[in-house]
Structure 1
Amino acid sequence: MFKASSRGRCQLMIQRAAPAKINLYLRTRGERPDGFHDLDTVMVGLDLADHLEVESAPELTLVSDTGLGLSDDLTGRAALALQAGRNLPGARIRVRKRIPAGGGLGGGSSNAAAALLAMDAFWGLNTPFPVLLDLAAQLGSDVPFFLAGQSCLAQGRGERLRLIQAPDLKLCGLLLFPGEPIATPTAYGWLDEDGLAEDATGTGELSTLIQAMARGDAQGALRQVHNSFTEPVRRRSPAVAKCLDYLEGAGLCPLLCGSGSTVIGLSAGSDLPQQVAKNAPYPNQSVKVMGRFPGSDRVTGLPNALSLRA
């Protein structure tokens, strides 16, 4: 949640949650001339989140569990991008991490979006949403999604967003953390090696998934989930394969998170059987999917995904 509190005349504190995400659908559509891959992906937020706090300081600094400095961390780069060319007061940004790094849950991108929104509020800039969205796209492919604050279809390299209104969708899941981070470039390399840079599977499922989400049909949505990275990563990571097999055997819908290595088992409803987590082969976290989550309160100009032609 967003919280701002004034403490004296010159001190202000801003706090924001920076939620994790999963991709209910991720299909790669080929490599672009700029080296990125075009994709179609449906992203939703989770109730697992990092915590970001901003307070007054003599200069702009970052204190994060990552141990990275201001210009080396995506959170810091977001603040620097917003500050560029302006004479603005200093601030200390603190990030407390709960989202595992390198797991495909978007923690770094979520932190960057939270930093854009928190610093915009801290400095009182009231930056128009389209300008924030452009800054977000420059920072990373997933950052724009976290600004929107609700389920989205993202296309291009992730910067073109369509909103998915799914207030009645009830999904819960179990995240499994194999402890083997997979770098995104490595996963894309495996995808290319397997000839899946342009993935023709799953092409008919996207509009069906969006429609199921919009009407709150959790079972219908789970029948349409897809991730182009699943098989390339499964073949090369025994730990990921073990997670996928365990979750499927437990009666859940197994899904790779982004390009891995975290895996989630999804279920319709609000609660998972306790034994599923108790018997899991790796550290785990029960989560709920959030149709809406902390984002910008000035979202404008984004089309509705239901208008997408199949």
Structure 2
Amino acid sequence: MFDAVVLNEASLPFYSVEDCEKNIEFFFDLLHEAKNNNIQFSRVDDLEGDWNHLNYAHNFNFNKWLNAIEDRDRKLQIKSVISSLKCPLLDININKSDINIDDFLFLHDSNRDLAVLGLAFAHLNHSHSLSIASDPCWRQGSIPIVKVWYEADKEHEEKIDVPNISSVYQLQPFLTAFKSLRQKNRAYLSSLKVDGNEDFKNLSFTKSFLKAVTSSSLQPVDFRRLIIVLESLNLAIINSSNTVDLANHSSLTITGESESTMGNKSLVMLRRFKHPVLGNTIFEDHIKNFGNGKRLHILADYDDKTVCVGYFGNHLDT
């Protein structure tokens, strides 16, 4: 979920219950609009829970506030966000920039006592932050932070502006760019052939895979992440002699199936796809570096230095 919008935990809580009650509905308007456009979120604040479990304000009772809303449609809208829009907790050290956060401090530029892990994660993944408009500093279109580290006993710092979303208005240009990139990535994947692809000379694809990448059920984040994974495989197979090498050279998580899965004929059949040369073949090894439980099943030929991609989609039954 490197491309997900990241919750800025530093933007909570509101200063008071009164301030929270005046503004929290605007936050859920933003979440509802994001949900309707298939935007995904993530967080790195070491806390798990749905949107109704955030610490919006001291002594603020979320359920009491929600139950007091008289507008039935508004209440259903908020409940829909809570039940269907997820914000999973991720490991901040697994990021697109491959930076270990333990080596740095990320602080708000105007308040050096305030750590901003969510903003840091958004920056490390070249993404946007999601802020609750609890203070004017969190309502800006970009939030200034500073990256601090020590080298040779000297303090160094780098100032960074993190793109920020705190209102439906700020969400709109993000959606425009998001939809444009989605169309571009979908078209790119749809142009792939079984083999002979200029960008993936060491890869081939089953017809099942090519059909899957044109599916309307795939999300924009799936397209972007899938392209990155395919690029990694295409390069890594050249210097790989086995699955361990391939995983190390590609920086991907590649595993086989359990004995119980491979011992069940019905489950094995789910992993059988038509290889363009070998015909119906079992694609046991799979890559787990995707959100929402998706998997990419592959069959590598370490002598020929090629990888056939057999399947992409939801986790197959085990």
TM-score bracket, shorter-length normalisation: under 0.3
TM-score of the two chains, using structure 1 as the length reference: 0.28
Structure number with bigger Rg: 2
TM-score of the two chains, using structure 2 as the length reference: 0.27
Structure ranking higher on relative contact order (CA contacts 8 Å, 6+ apart) = 1
Q: Please identify which structure carries the higher helix content.
A: 2
Q: Please identify which structure carries the higher strand content.
A: 1
